[in-house]
Structure 1
Amino acid sequence: MSEDTERHAMKMAKKKAARDKIMAQKTDKRGLIIVHTGKGKGKSTAAFGMIFRHIAHGMKSGVVQFIKGGMSTGERDMILDRFGDICSFHTMGEGFTWETQDKTRDTEMAQAAWAKAKELIRDPSNSMVLLDEINIAIRYDYVDINEVVQFLVDEKPEMTHVVLTGRNAKEELIEIADLVTEMELVKHPFRSGVKAQIGVEY
């Protein structure tokens, strides 16, 4: 064994020992409040990755889409076609608010989505519930942030994970969350004139 290889092996052994010690102390297990926010692409994509992990492990989950309308998306179509028995999928919005241009209607739809979200979260058989683009509904005051926070703190079952996506997550939500990821926009093809493409954006 060369000196460089031996030095590397010793360094990695020390890292492993330190890591094992840290991991031995992590014994808590509970349902998490997870927030994906920021201007960068990937918030819903990452959240659906967790939903598909749940599906792969045979764990029941649910999805409520607050803003996105009835357009076909790969994840929605696959879940409805193949995994509807284990993942409940509800597209409650009618499109982005600049498309509908009807605040009263948008508010009604968002309130219906929030009611469905609470129903799914209260169901202890769901171990994860994704509230896709709820932060947009909260930002436009279609759903009250204080009600969302109070519900998650007071009524979310102990072992249920709740994932909330969308830009501009409120500080009140970030404060109670266990995991917050902010997607940072570095570069996006849309700015170069490239439209949303099947298999990438939907």
Structure 2
Amino acid sequence: MSDRDKRHRQSMQKLKSHVDERVASAQEQRGLLLVFTGNGKGKTTAAWGTVTRALGYGYRVGVIQFIKGLWECGERERLIADDNLEVQVMATGFTWETQNRESDTQACLEVWRESERLLADPAVYLVVLDEITYMLKFGYLDIETVKRAIANRPAEQSVIVTGRNAHRELVAMADTVTEMQETRHAFNSGLQARRGIDY
């Protein structure tokens, strides 16, 4: 065996030992709060990927779409026939299109009631609150109301929060926080969003 191969084997043995120790020390079992935030694309896509994973194991999943619900969504179209998936959408679409705070707030509160129902249901394994960060930023929802519903959910239920500028209190209570960082975006170069790629 060459010296390089020996060094590689030693390095991999050390890595394996480290990983094994971390796996052995992870003893707690409970639902998680995950936050996908940042100015890069892929937050909702990552959430739908996790939805697909949970559905693949036969778990019940609820998805609340606060912003993009009226747009085409390839993931939703592909998965909606699954009896274990429930999707609720905010009826207004993009709030900067409506420019009506009163109607947007009402639409948000209506779909939030569906969120609260899902967050209280022990049979629902995963709840996705897609783009809820905007509802908090615009003042349509109160942070304490959202925190309370998430904190009081069934112990085995996981929640994914997506959207830019996640509220610092949601970030603080999250188990996993992933920040998508934009390096370059095709839209900024004049390229249109592409069906099957961007939505």
Distance 1:76 1:94 in 2: 18
Secondary structure at 2:124 match in 1: coil
Query: Structure 1: any 5+ residue segments left out of the alignment?
Result: none
Q: Which residue is equivalent to 2:173?
A: 176
Distance 1:88 1:69 in 2: 13
> Is 1:189 paired with 2:172?
no
Q: Which residue is equivalent to 2:18?
A: 18
**Cα offset, 1:166, TM superposition:** 0.7
> Is 1:112 paired with 2:106?
no
**Cα offset, 1:168, TM superposition:** 0.9
The AA in structure 2 aligned to 1:201 is D
> Is 1:75 paired with 2:75?
yes
> Is 1:149 paired with 2:147?
yes
Distance 1:20 1:139 in 2: 41
Contact 1:36/1:43, CA 8 A, preserved across alignment: yes
**Cα offset, 1:11, TM superposition:** 1.7
User: When the two structures are aligned, how many residues end up with a matched partner?
Assistant: 199
Query: Structure 2: any 5+ residue segments left out of the alignment?
Result: none
Distance 1:189 1:18 in 2: 40
Distance 1:24 1:16 in 2: 12
**TM-score scaled by length of structure 1:** 0.95
CA change 1:17–1:69 in 2 (3 A) is closer
**Cα offset, 1:58, TM superposition:** 1.1
Secondary structure at 1:127 match in 2: strand
Superposed CA offset, 1:22-65 (max 9, x none): 21111111111111111110110101110000011111111010
**TM-score scaled by length of structure 2:** 0.96
**How large is the Cα RMSD of the aligned pairs?**
1.1
**Cα offset, 1:69, TM superposition:** 3.8
**Cα offset, 1:72, TM superposition:** 2.1
The AA in structure 2 aligned to 1:110 is C
Secondary structure at 2:159 match in 1: strand
Q: After the TM superposition, which of the residue ranges 34-43 and 62-71 deviates more from structure 2?
A: 62-71
Distance 1:71 1:170 in 2: 25
Structure 1's consecutive aligned runs of 4 or more residues displaced over 6 angstroms after TM superposition are none
